């Protein structure tokens, strides 16, 4: 480790690589917005936009003495020192900068990857290559549907993704639910089961989950998912609502449990009694606690200290949920199926995984969703929606509204006249906005706006207010709204447009995405830090 910065020491690419290869804990943080992050980043980098650090850091990096290595440039500005200062203020004691930033990483031969959730997607490609996961082309599946063959199609994505677009006749069965529920949908072992997602990863992992768990049915992935379906010129459904049965028979649950435990044991998943959990809470080790059931089940009752991360999405988005590589992961469910299956994949991805042994339902004593802990923001004068409406009605140019919500939310609806601003780019945004006598800051709830107010105070002498209750309160008051990209003071780089989401992506982008996925195994080999092993 070298130290060229008086405020923050640095780690080189070689330092980071050695820690990853040694299996020690590290969080490599890319503090740019999601779109530039998705264009190029190291395999194990986690996206932590400077704009939202205070809202995400404590929940995503729970141990304050975790080794953090930070990088990220925007429009020629190195955002890393600003982000490092925030992290230090949040109580993190081992904050470092990546020596030379991303450009030096690349110049030194470091591999960089496109898109998001790359560890999971590259792992999926490796699974298919190693296990020869069976698949069928879109045309073959369409022919099965047309001939009314004995086939069940299950969509392994989140339910909201499935509703946006789905293969005709498909039923929503999010990834971790597949092994538990597929026998209810296909009780006849001769029924063919086809698993799809939007692209490849969740189709592959879902299909291989069924194979690994010993499902007797013939199983195949829909090759290239809904992208492949669209590229084949076939029509997708929209607004479908089919779900797997909520109830699972005792016989089917027992069969699912047996298969799940067997593959979990083979993958190296460990088990622990609830009473012994404190033995995993060791100094110098991060412990993530995930309940991998559905959000509805989690809200009905969960173990204290656990957060909800449905298993299929946890495997898909591990870099978001567990950005500290080398950490321990503890999983819980109520059936000993979903945690075992989820754990089997995480263990193959190189994580140390533990599953809580079954407990009585009464022990799941906490209910509702878990609210992330965030630091207190500075006190800022506030204004009610009605007061702001009166100021804006004056039309004297004295009041300007800055909206720090996600750009997708802003485009959908915002206060008339409001400017969209990315907090981390506030200084640049102000150059595009006529200076007023007062600013009113908002976002969905005004939580992020309160943190932005402190940034703005360093850049202007104008009065600064925060809208009480944010734009949600404005909407609840029945006040006027407008939509569209009306006043973008910042470019919409806060979210990367996935080629596989929505229904209007260009065919070239879809094909390009598939081509990128096909090349991931070669990138893994060049990078060499993945630690994957396919059981």
Backbone conformation region of residue 23, classed left if phi is above 0, alpha if psi is from -120 to 50, else beta: left
pLDDT of residue 3: 41
Report phi then psi at 208, rounded to 5. Answer: -65, -30
Higher pLDDT, 510 or 264: 264
- Check if the beta carbon of residue 367 is closer than 8 Å to that of residue 291: no
- Check if the beta carbon of residue 247 is closer than 8 Å to that of residue 331: no
> Mean pLDDT over residues 199-215, rounded?
97
Which pair of tokens denotes residue 519? 């090349």
Rounded Cα distance between 191 and 382, Å, is 61
- Residue 504, pLDDT > 80, answer no
Beta-carbon neighbour count of residue 394 at 10 Å?
9
- Residue 366, pLDDT > 60, answer yes
> Mean pLDDT over residues 396-407, rounded?
97
- Check if the beta carbon of residue 66 is closer than 8 Å to that of residue 366: no
Rounded Cα distance between 211 and 396, Å, is 67
- Check if the beta carbon of residue 101 is closer than 8 Å to that of residue 78: yes
Rounded Cα distance between 460 and 235, Å, is 53
> Mean pLDDT over residues 479-485, rounded?
98
Chain segment 261-301, per-residue pLDDT in tens = 999 999 999 999 999 999 999 999 999 999 999 999 999 99
Q: Distances from the Cα of 258 to the Cαs of 233, 243, 245, 254, in angstroms?
A: 41, 24, 20, 6
Per-residue pLDDT band for 1 (boundaries 50, 70, 90) equals very low
Model pTM above 0.75: yes
Percent of the chain with pLDDT over 70: 99
- Residue 308, pLDDT > 50, answer yes
pLDDT of residue 4: 40
Report phi then psi at 467, rounded to 5. Answer: -75, 120
Domains of the chain (ranges plus CATH)?
Answer: 10-115 (3.40.250.10), 122-245 (3.40.250.10), 256-359 (3.40.250.10), 382-476 (3.40.250.10)
Q: H or E stretch including 122?
A: helix 118-131
Mean pLDDT computed over every residue of the chain: 96
Per-residue pLDDT band for 500 (boundaries 50, 70, 90) equals confident
pLDDT of residue 501: 75
Pairing between β-strand 73-74 and β-strand 77-78 as defined by DSSP bridges = antiparallel
Q: Distances from the Cα of 363 to the Cαs of 207, 354, 359, in angstroms?
A: 33, 18, 7
- Residue 398, pLDDT > 90, answer yes
Higher pLDDT, 99 or 507: 99
Rounded Cα distance between 221 and 228, Å, is 11
């Amino acid at each position: 480790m070298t130290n060229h910065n008086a405020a923050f020491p640095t780690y080189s690419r070689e330092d980071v690589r050695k820690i990853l290869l040694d299996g020690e804990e590290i969080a490599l943080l890319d503090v740019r917005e999601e779109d530039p992050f998705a264009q190029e980043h190291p395999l194990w980098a986690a996206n932590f936009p400077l704009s939202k650090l205070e809202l995400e850091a404590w929940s995503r990096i729970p141990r304050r003495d975790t080794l953090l290595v930070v990088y990220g440039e925007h429009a020629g500005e190195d955002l890393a020192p600003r982000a490092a200062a925030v992290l230090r203020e949040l109580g993190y004691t081992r904050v470092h900068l990546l020596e030379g930033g991303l450009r030096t990483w690349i110049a030194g031969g470091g591999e960089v990857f496109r898109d998001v959730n790359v560890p999971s997607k590259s792992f999926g490609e490796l699974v298919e290559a190693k296990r020869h996961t069976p698949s069928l082309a879109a045309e073959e599946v369409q022919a099965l549907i047309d001939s009314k063959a004995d086939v069940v199609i299950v969509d392994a994505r989140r339910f909201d993704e499935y509703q946006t677009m789905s293969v005709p006749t498909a039923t929503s069965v999010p990834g971790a639910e597949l092994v538990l529920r597929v026998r209810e949908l296909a009780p006849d072992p001769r029924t063919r089961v086809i698993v799809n997602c939007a692209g490849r990863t969740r189709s592959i992992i879902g299909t291989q989950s069924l194979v690994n768990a010993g499902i007797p049915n013939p199983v195949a992935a829909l090759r290239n998912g809904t992208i492949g379906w669209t590229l084949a010129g076939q029509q997708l459904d929209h607004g479908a609502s089919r779900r797997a049965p909520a109830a699972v028979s005792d016989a089917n649950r027992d069969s699912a449990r047996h298969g799940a435990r067997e593959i979990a044991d083979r993958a190296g998943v460990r088990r622990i009694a609830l009473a012994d959990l404190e033995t995993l809470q060791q100094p110098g080790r991060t412990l993530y606690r995930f309940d991998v059931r559905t959000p509805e089940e989690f809200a009905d009752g969960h173990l204290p200290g656990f957060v909800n991360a449905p298993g299929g999405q946890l495997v898909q988005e591990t870099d978001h949920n567990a950005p500290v590589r080398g950490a321990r992961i503890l999983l819980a469910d109520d059936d000993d199926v979903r945690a075992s299956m989820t754990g089997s994949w995480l263990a193959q991805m190189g994580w140390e995984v533990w599953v809580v042994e079954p407990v009585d339902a009464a022990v799941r004593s906490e209910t509702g969703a878990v609210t992330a802990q965030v630091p207190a923001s500075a006190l800022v004068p506030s204004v009610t929606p009605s007061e702001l409406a009166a100021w804006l009605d004056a039309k004297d140019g004295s009041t300007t509204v800055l909206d720090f919500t996600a750009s997708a939310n802003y485009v959908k609806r915002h206060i008339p006249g409001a400017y969209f601003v990315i907090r981390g780019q506030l200084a640049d945004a102000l150059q595009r906005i006529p200076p007023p006598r007062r600013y009113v800051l908002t976002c969905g709830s005004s939580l992020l706006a309160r943190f932005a107010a402190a940034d703005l105070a360093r850049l202007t002498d104008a009065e600064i207010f925060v809208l009480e209750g944010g734009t949600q309160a404005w909407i609840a008051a029945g006040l006027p709204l407008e939509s569209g990209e009306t006043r973008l003071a910042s470019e919409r780089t806060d979210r990367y447009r996935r080629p596989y989401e929505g229904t209007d992506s260009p065919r070239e982008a879809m094909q390009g995405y598939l081509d990128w996925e096909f090349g991931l195994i070669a990138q893994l080999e060049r990078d060499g830090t993945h630690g994957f092993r396919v059981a």
